[in-house]
Structure 1
Amino acid sequence: MAARERGRGRREEPREVQISKYMSYVLRHGAAKEGVKMDAGGWVEVDALLSLKKMASKKVSEEELKVVVTTNAKKRFALKEEDGVLFIRATQGHSLDSVKSANLLRKLTLDDLPNYPVVVHGTTRDNYKKIQESGGLSKMGRNHIHFAQGLPKDRVVSGMRNSSNLFIYLDTQKCLEDGLEVFVSENGVILLPGDERGFLDVKYFREVVEE
């Protein structure tokens, strides 16, 4: 009885949050499972997304989807129109092997570095202990390791959780000089696939700061 009462008292998430979360799931991780055709750049037809059972049951319209995209604080989604057909994709955070970095992101070179003076990964004290024990950062089932271009106090839009209290600053120049690929997404997140294991060694940590 008590459990049921607690369940009844739980506040339901706002409609736009529910829609955004489901879109993130499909566009980052679940397209194949949901039966949605996606190209190597992560693009899917908006009509195909809207026809999915969960979207159709909520009667999500194209106009409402556009509002969810444009009002998303972290700019998680992008839209484009080709030959009268509207497409949508997640800007980063994918775990699907079919989505290729070259089709989704912009690759950085040494010449780009002056435009990216701060590249930092946010974590927690407890997680950092595990990072030290393993010898570096892992992409953890996703296609990339995520970095931001500043700290939460700098009002970073995307690339780091606001709950982060320990910050790993990347030696981006050393990464590039050693042949590691570094990309930037449409919403400004810096992304590294790491080495052949999807791993980034601690030798590429320029500085670690705890706050």
Structure 2
Amino acid sequence: MTSEDASKFIAYILRHAPESIGLRLDAQGWAGIEALVAGAVAAGRDLTTADVLHAVDSGAKKRYELSADGLSIRALQGHSTPQVSRSFEAIAPPPLLFHGTATRFLASIRAQGLLPGSRQHVHLSADEATAVLVGQRHGKAHVLRVDAGRMHAAGHVFHRAENGVWLTAAVPPEFLFLPPG
């Protein structure tokens, strides 16, 4: 398994499907590294402890965190699994945040705003370049600007994950700068 394949597999397991390899996460998303590796191997995946540690330390996204004792791992955000309910401190956002999406989703976003889908939060970026990279994963990228300052003033709550990703429950259309359409 390549490093990128290992990282994507770990993200899938820790965010969405721990039960697919018999793994149990606690309410904050922590799982033992040994249990993760053993579950992956039992499911026919060639994953080692070294692969897990490399995934934590590599990549610009910084998707994971190790426990203080180095024995457990968790995904920082992006969970869709109901047993994880990470708590993040509420924090005032910068005036403007960004969301990368594919152009084919713009009509739906125009009507409904940004919704978390199967995840627990909408993910936003502090910079446009990161949002472009996120949007490219889903097709031709389009970057939406979010009036986060006005949203916050209207009572919407924002959080920032340890890796700098901004999180909120949803972004209503009136807080988006959308292209005409």
Q: TM-score range by the shorter chain?
A: 0.7 to 0.9
* Residue in 2 that maps onto 1:73: 60
Contact 2:37 2:49 in 1 (8 A): yes
- The equivalent residue for 1:87 is 72
Q: 1:143 aligns with which of 92, 116, 120?
A: 120
1:56 is displaced (CA, Å) by 7.5
TM-score by length of 2: 0.83
Gaps of 5+ in 1: 1-13, 195-199
- Encode CA deviations 1:127-183: one digit per residue, 9 max, x unaligned: 112212x3312111111111111122xxx3998234654222222223223332211
Aligned equivalents of 2:56, 2:7: Cα separation in 1: 8
RMSD of aligned alpha carbons: 2.6
Q: Rate the CA distance shift 1:80–1:73 in 2: closer, same or farther, 3 A.
A: same
Residue pair 1:159, 1:189 contacting (<8 A) in 2 also = no
Distance verdict in 2 for CA 1:46–1:170, change over 3 Å: same
Q: Could you list the runs of 4 or more consecutive aligned residues of structure 1 that deviate by over 4 angstroms after TM superposition?
A: 55-59
Residue-pair matches, total: 178
Q: Percent identity?
A: 26
- TM-score in terms of structure 1 length: 0.73
1:40 alignment partner, one of 27, 39, 42: 27
| Structure ranking higher on relative contact order (CA contacts 8 Å, 6+ apart) | 2
Say if 2:157 and 2:169, in contact at 8 Å, map to a contact too. yes
* Mapping 1:134-173, distance limit 5 Å: 134-152=111-129, 156=130, 160-162=134-136, 165-173=141-149
* Unpaired runs of at least 5, structure 2: none
Larger deviation, residues 56-65 vs 121-130: 56-65
Letter in 2 for 1:108: I
Taking the aligned partners of 2:51 and 2:21, their CA distance within structure 1 comes to 21
Greater radius of gyration (CA): 1
Structure 2 equivalent of residue 4 of structure 1 = none
Q: Write out per-residue CA displacement over residues 112-139 of structure 1, whole angstroms, 9 at most, x where no aligned residue.
A: x4xx34311112332112212x331211
Compute the displacement of 1:36 (Å): 1.4
What residue number does 2:51 align with?
64
Kindly indicate whether residue 173 of structure 2 is the aligned counterpart of residue 202 of structure 1: yes
